[in-house]
Amino acid sequence: MDKVLQDQISYYRARAGEYDEWFYRVGRYDWGAERNAQWFAEIETVIQALRVLGKVESALELAAGTGNFTKELAGIADHVVALDASPEVLEINRDKVKNPNVEYRQADLFNWQPDEQYDLVFMSFWMSHVPPEKLDGFLDTVRLATKVGGQVFMVDSLRDTTRTSSASNHADYDPESIYHTRKLNDGQEYTIVKMFYDESLVPKLAEHGFTAQYHTSGDYFWWASGVKD
Ligand SMILES: C[S@@+](CC[C@H](N)C(=O)[O-])C[C@H]1O[C@@H](n2cnc3c(N)ncnc32)[C@H](O)[C@@H]1O
C-alpha cells in the first residue's frame, strides 16, 4: 500500500498540467454537451451547498490540487491554508487563485499532523484516495484540525453508472477492487486508490466526533458536511 500511496503522489505531480481537463471536461473527459452540462450543474449544486456554510475566519483545504475549490474557499474564509503533496499543483493553484489570503503548504497527508485548528476543514476529491486501512487515522487528523463547533465538508465521486466521470480510455471501475489504473495523455500508467465512500461515512464520522449528513448531486458527486461536537 505504501508504494501505491507514493505512486498516487507521483501520478498527480505528473498530471498537474493536464489535471483541469478532467474538471472542465476537455479531451478524454469530454463526454458530449448533455453529459458535460449535467456535470457542471452538479458541480454548481455542490458549490451552493458549500456556500450555505456561510462565512468563516479560517479554512484548511486538504489535497487542494489546482485550486478549483480553493477560489470558492477564499470567498467564504478570511484565511485559507491549502495543503497538497504536489508542488506542481500548488503552483498552478497559486497562479489561478491569486489571493494573498491563501497560504500554500506542501505536505503528505498520510504523514502530517495539524499544528492549529480551523473553523472549516474542506477536501474535494481526496477521500476517494484514502484507503480503508488509513480511514480512521485520517479522520482522527481531520478531527484534530477542526475547532469544536467547526465544520467539515468533503465532496467526492459517486460510483457513476453512466461511466462518464473518468477518461474515455480508462478501464471501468472494478467493484471488487480499491485500485484503478490511470493514464496520462502521453499513455504513462499509474495505479491509484479509488474508493467510493457511501452513507456509511456518517456513522464513521460520528466515531471521530462529527455530526454529519451525506448527500448526492445526481450521477456524479456525493458530499458530506458536518459539525465537530
Ligand atoms: C483528485 S485530486 C483533487 C484536487 C482538488 N482538491 C480538486 O478538487 O480538484 C487529488 C489531490 O491529492 C493530492 N495528493 C495525492 N496524494 C497526496 C498525499 N499523500 N498528501 C497530500 N496530497 C496528496 C494530489 O496531488 C492531488 O492534488
Cβ–Cβ contacts within 10 Å for residue 195, how many?
18
CA distance linking residue 216 with residue 224, whole number of Å: 9
Ranges of beta strands (E only) in 3-92 are 56-62, 77-84
Q: What is the CA radius of gyration of the chain?
A: 17
Nearest CA to ligand 1 atom 12: 63
The whole-number pLDDT of residue 170 equals 86
Q: How far, in Å, is the centroid of ligand 1 from the Cα of 117?
A: 21
pTM (two decimals): 0.97
Give the C-alpha separation, 212 to 75, whole Å.
Answer: 23
Q: What is the pLDDT along the chain (229 residues), one digit of tens a residue?
A: 899 999 999 999 999 999 999 999 999 999 999 999 999 999 999 999 999 999 999 999 999 999 999 999 999 999 999 999 999 999 999 999 999 999 999 999 999 999 999 999 999 999 999 999 999 999 999 999 999 999 999 999 999 888 888 888 888 888 888 999 999 999 999 999 999 999 999 999 999 999 999 999 999 999 999 999 9
Ligand 1 atom nearest the C-alpha of 109 is 20
For ligand 1, say whether the CB of 68 is within 6 Å of any of its atoms: yes
Location of C-alpha cell 469530454: 30
Closest atom of ligand 1 to 108 CA is 20
Return the ligand 1 atom nearest residue 89 CA.
27
User: Do 102 and 76 meet the contact criterion of CB atoms below 8 Å apart?
Assistant: no
pLDDT, residue 171, reads 81
Other Cβ atoms closer than 10 A to 161: 8
Q: Residues 66, 96: contact at Cβ < 8 Å?
A: yes
Which of 9, 97, 126 for a ligand 1 pocket mutation test, highest count of atoms within 8 Å of Cβ? Answer: 126
Please say whether the beta carbons of 175 and 161 come within 8 A: no
Q: Kindly report the number of other CB atoms within 10 A of residue 3's CB atom.
A: 8
